[in-house]
Structure 1
Amino acid sequence: MHHFIGIDSFKGCISSSDAARAIKTGILHADPDATIDWSPVADGGEGTIDVLSANGFEKIIAPTIDLAGRPIEVSYAQKDRIAVVEVAMICGLHLKRPEDDAFSLHTRGVGRLVRQVLATDASDIFLALGSTATTDGGLGFLAELGADLLTQTGRPISWQTNPLMETKQLRLPKTGMSLHVLADVTASYAGEQGAACVFGPQKGLNASEIAVLDGRLTEIGRRLQIEHIKGAGAAGGLGGAAYALGASIESGASFILRMIHAKERIERADYVWTGEGRVDRQTAMGKLPSQVSALADRAGIPCILLAGEVTERLEQAWICEAIHDPDEVKTLDPFVTKQRLARRAEQIVRRLNPK
């Protein structure tokens, strides 16, 4: 039997590659004659550059600044004239230090890196959004690309706080760039389903800060005419800021799967394996396991979905199971998680091919 494995990372636990290798181990324990095709995958957020570099893209190191303005070196991916910037490398939650003020973190470093990429021969720049600690509406990004952020009196803002607080007038640059946003969320720029209200708590913002920022996002969103754009609230509003510059917004998972030629690889398989750390109602809303399952379903290939926790079964998956047994404690221990993935994969293959 031939198997294709495209499983997302178990965030905070194991990478996509580690998860795929564990499943491969389990399959081969049960069926030593099986053939395995696997690739690291991502949903367009954290881990995107690693996935692309394993599939023909070159990693390029470049200097920029992080979410608090500190110098930092990051990598972006390029193949032919396509360049991909993983925003979490510049302003991700993991870069936020205890002394950093969550309210004032910004996306200037993203714009600074994009400006450098524009100086190369890249014709299309993709921004992989997700797992950011910023909620500046993407204004830092816009400023680095030439936008004028002005106070009510027409003076440049001071940058002493979140740029949303001071910006009352905004003039966008004419860039002429071909920009694309990769996002796995459909959050709006502002409102109950917006950048501040939905993601503010996990970024360390308190209720009063969220209310203030949401008010400013509402105003800036109207000025940029992006208040009704799905995905504009991704990465604290960076998705909307990029859209205002003419960017398209598309599913990060779809982009990744296209780049690794997943459709063709799935069509050659007898079984397809996917999953993530937690499968719930959000999984069906375009997240990577649902996209892999949909490709398998269209090809008529059985899809097996494994997760650390399953609270709602994905209908397109032929098998959808948690990797731990009912009497086992859930854990984020990487070693235990890999063991359980391998064990569950072995058990499933033995069920599929009883001797």
Structure 2
Amino acid sequence: MVIAPDKFKGSLTAAEVAAHVAAGLRRVRPDVPLVALPVADGGDGTVDAAVACGFARLRTAVTGPAGERVVAAYAVRDDTAVVELAEASGLRLLRDDPTPLTASSHGTGELIDAAIGGGATRIVLGLGGSACTDGGTGIAAALGARFLDAEGRPLPPGGAALRRLHSLDVRALRERLAGVTVVVASDVDSPLLGRDGAAAVFGPQKGASPSQVRTLERGLARLDAVVRRDLGVHAAGLRGAGAAGGAGYGALVFLKATIRPGIAYLLDLLGFPDRVAGARLVITGEGSLDRQSLRGKAPIGVARAAARADVPAVAVSGRRALTGEQLRKARLQAAYALTDLEPDPAKCMTHAGPLLERLAERLARTWLDERSAHA
């Protein structure tokens, strides 16, 4: 049996979810072999998932989204490094003091630089949980790109300053990235600009007021105009360009990255197809199983990958807001929620671990009979 959940945000990491599920299952069926494979879709928890699957965790001091020094982690195995934008440039690092106009992705570029310095030639960049709307210019600047105003001076960090962008120089960046392949793992399909773009959709989540959203939109539009003029690259309308405050756009333009569906790519990277072969059941899950999950979130990706291997999948979650028909279309045979046991959402958050173990016991009695001992 394979246990492949995402995190329960605010309560448990993906690895903790897997451990609690395993504990509950073992109380009912201690004889059933279990394989824990925590997963992520490119957002928060991507580095943790990679480490749980055999990557080494490395830490380094980098520039946080507001310019402060923070210690951030990335994961390495052989020549591949997994870098999670939320580690260095995440909104969670700002706590209750968002800085939407000046927040920068520079620290994420420093993580990439550290990974390249350590010998990585393939960078897997997970986008999600971003504090910034700078079009990925912070990442590019950390790798050697220069973004200049009309006087030839480097622009300060953040998306608002991009309104004054006059020219750019990517020669040093190109040298730094020679021989390096970058793959972006993201399930966000937004363009860079417009009502479905990085500023309009995600700016308010980062603390931007309506006027600040307009400021950030103008900055991103100016960035795209200069990129088209100076580099001849037209990427603003590409799917995923708006991910993580336009970091998807910056990765496409400056890192020459390819964008892959987050959960599908990471399942391959983490070895899910080999782990699921011959299993009797896959258990996946996340904190809230709802309509957003259907847009390519981790549990649905896991269920579809399990279906391709002809293995049934069930889900555990904090709350469940999908119908039986929606679950079936998503290739999930059943879904179990903590709210089935405890109707108070606050208690579900604070007691998620013990409740999850009880839920796993119920799941085991339903799905595991004596024939499952060879799972």
TM over 0.5: yes
Q: Is the 8 Å Cα contact of residues 7 and 275 (structure 1) preserved in structure 2?
A: yes
The Cα of 1:148 is off from its aligned counterpart by 2.5
Within the candidate set 320, 337, 345, 1:330 is matched to 345
Q: Which residue of 286, 304, 320 maps to 2:296?
A: 286
Q: Match for residue 268 of structure 2? A: 258
1:243 to 245, 252, 260: 252
Specify the alignment match of 1:192 in structure 2.
195
Change (3 A) 1:160 1:326: closer
Q: TM-score if structure 2 supplies the norm length?
A: 0.87
Does the 8 A contact of 1:140 with 1:163 survive in 2? no
Partner of 2:216: 213
Give the distance between the partners of 1:258 and 1:215, measured in 2 at CA: 38
For residue 340 of structure 1, the aligned residue among 344, 355, 359 is 355
More divergent stretch after superposition (52-61 vs 288-297): 52-61
Offset of residue 161 of structure 1: 7.4
Is residue 2:11 matched to residue 1:13? yes
Question: Which one of 231, 241, 254 corresponds to residue 240 of structure 2?
Answer: 231
Q: Pairwise mapping of residues 1-355 of structure 1 onto structure 2 (< 5 A)?
A: 3-99=1-97, 101-159=99-157, 162-173=160-171, 174-175=174-175, 176=178, 177-224=180-227, 225-245=234-254, 246-312=256-322, 313-314=326-327, 315=329, 316-325=331-340, 328-331=343-346, 333-352=348-367
- Give the equivalent residue in structure 1 for 2:230: none
**Alpha-carbon distance between aligned partners in 2 of 1:281 and 1:160, rounded to the nearest angstrom:** 32
Higher mean C-alpha displacement, 9-18 vs 64-73: 64-73
The alpha carbon displacement at 1:97 in A equals 4.5
Deviation at 1:15, TM superposition (A): 0.9
Q: Which moved more, 1:199-208 or 1:43-52?
A: 43-52
Cα-to-partner distance string for 1:217-270 (whole Å, 9 max, x where unaligned): 233234432111111111111111011021111123223212321112212211
CA deviation profile, 1:69-120 (whole Å, cap 9, x unmatched): 1222222211111112221111111111545533211111222332333333
Q: Is the 8 A contact 1:278 1:309 kept in 2?
A: yes
What's the CA shift for 1:16? 0.7
Q: More displaced, 196-205 or 96-105?
A: 96-105
Aligned Cα root-mean-square deviation (Å)? 2.3
Q: Assess if the C-alpha contact under 8 Å between 2:65 and 2:88 holds in 1.
A: yes
What are the ranges of 5 or more consecutive residues in structure 2 without an aligned counterpart? 228-233, 371-375
The alignment partner of 1:23 has SS state of: helix
Q: Which moved more, 1:136-145 or 1:333-342?
A: 333-342
1-structure distance, mates of 2:158, 2:31: 63
The 3 A distance-change label for structure 1 pair 327 and 50 is: closer
Cα deviation, residue 188, structure 1: 1.6
5+ residue gaps, structure 1: none
Say which structure is richer in helix: 2
Does the CA-based 8 Å contact 1:272-1:301 persist in structure 2?
Answer: yes
Which deviations, in whole Å up to 9, do the C-alpha atoms of 1:286-339 show, x marking residues without a partner? 211111101111122111012112222332101123232287122365552222
Q: Which amino acid aligns with 1:133?
A: A
Percent identical: 33
Answer with 92-101 or 227-236: which moved more: 92-101
Cα offsets for 1:144-183 (capped at 9, x unmatched): 2222212245443245873323223333332423222121
What SS class does the counterpart of residue 140 from structure 1 fall into?
helix
Are the structure 2 counterparts of residues 331 and 184 from structure 1 closer, same or farther at C-alpha, using a change threshold of 3 Å?
farther
Q: Distance in 2 between matches of 1:83 and 1:326?
A: 40
Q: Distance in 2 between matches of 1:43 and 1:257?
A: 9
Query: Do 2:165 and 2:226's aligned partners in 1 also have CA atoms closer than 8 Å?
Result: no
